[in-house]
Copies of this chain bind each other. A is one copy, B any other.
């Protein structure tokens, strides 16, 4: 049993009011006289009172908890999600509104039914006010139903609809719009499925534009550094070479950049570079490399916000973040992608 935990009752008697009034103050209900409010607030500060989450949850039916559900990585592999950033962004967003974030990991290989059972147990135990299905769980209607049955709001990063786009396709389109025909693509995403989709999207975009570059300048697998350098070399040395390259990984883009510089190819004048993953290192390279990626962490924070706002049914959103010098733009339709414009993109040179 907790030691001399100070409760709402202590505050009440210290302030000479009933505990209900104290409750009203901490929930800033409008119907409290300024005088009483002041006394209560002072007592709270003096005693260092903090309301218990568990008690509030029991009493009021609101747990002030948001549950983030994700699919764990297959054993030995790295997670496909930037969990560290999600954790940072999510806890911050929740804190700002007095909520707390909890993560639930569903085993990856697991049959759907098992994951469902596990989630059901967690929802029952934790009783979060809201649940966020992280990719690729956003499409799991069964999990959504689970929440709905319990009166728990569910959301995902794709927004309520689930209209995620294809980064590979968008990137290719963007480059094509800049006049490029010879556009290369180097895969390497953590999740091979994601790579598949990006590659397919890239191919579609190029085919639509009438280019055939995707037959020569598409690398499907994730080579290690030596292979990567060789690959870039083999693409960039010949006269007929890509004028733009899309790299799924930031590291890959950096490696290509290195090769280009070695060969005396000017970036972006003679070669445009676009990464499908953002990373601080892209900012510090020479020149800084532009990235087009799904802004997972911000989307996650936004989802947290949505859930909390829905519960609280009030307006005031939390604070927003600062800038870092790169130009950022969220691409319009058909997808939620962020283009972090730096200095590695240019119109295609006259003769490719």
Question: A interface vs B, CB < 8 Å?
Answer: 1-3, 5, 48-55, 57-58, 61, 63, 72-73, 75-79, 81-84, 87-88, 91-92, 95, 100-105, 120-121, 124-127, 149-151, 224-226, 229, 251, 254-255, 257-258, 261-262, 280-281, 284-286, 322, 324
A79 and B84 contact, Cβ closer than 8 Å, known pairs A53-B127, A101-B103 = yes
Count of this chain's copies in the oligomeric assembly: 2
Known A-B contacts A73-B88, A101-B103; A225 and B50 likewise in contact (beta carbons under 8 Å): no
Contact A127 B76 (CB under 8 A): no
C-alpha spacing A255/B121, complex, angstroms? 46
* Residue pair B124, A50 in contact (C-beta under 8 Å): yes
Assembled-state Cα–Cα distance A251/B72 (Å): 24
Q: How far apart are the CA atoms of A92 and B106 in the complex, in Å?
A: 10
Residue of B nearest to A84 (CB): B83
Q: Do B127 and A54 touch across chains, with their CB atoms under 8 A apart?
A: yes
Q: Which residues of B have CB within 8 Å of A255?
A: 225
| Neighbouring B residues of A53 by C-beta, 8 Å | 54, 125-127
15 cross-chain CB contacts under 8 A: A2-B61, A2-B151, A3-B150, A3-B151, A50-B124, A52-B127, A58-B58, A82-B84, A83-B87, A87-B87, A87-B105, A88-B105, A91-B103, A91-B104, A92-B105
A54 x B57 contact (CB < 8 A): yes
Q: Is the CB of A224 within 8 A of B50?
A: no
Q: A53-B125, A258-B226, A285-B224 are in contact. Are A91 and B105 (CB under 8 A)?
A: yes
Residues on the B chain within 8 Å of A105, using CB: 87-88, 91-92, 95
Beyond contacts A2-B127, A81-B84, A226-B286: 12 other A-B pairs, Cβ-Cβ < 8 A, are A2-B150, A48-B120, A54-B55, A76-B280, A76-B324, A83-B83, A83-B88, A84-B84, A87-B87, A91-B104, A224-B286, A225-B255
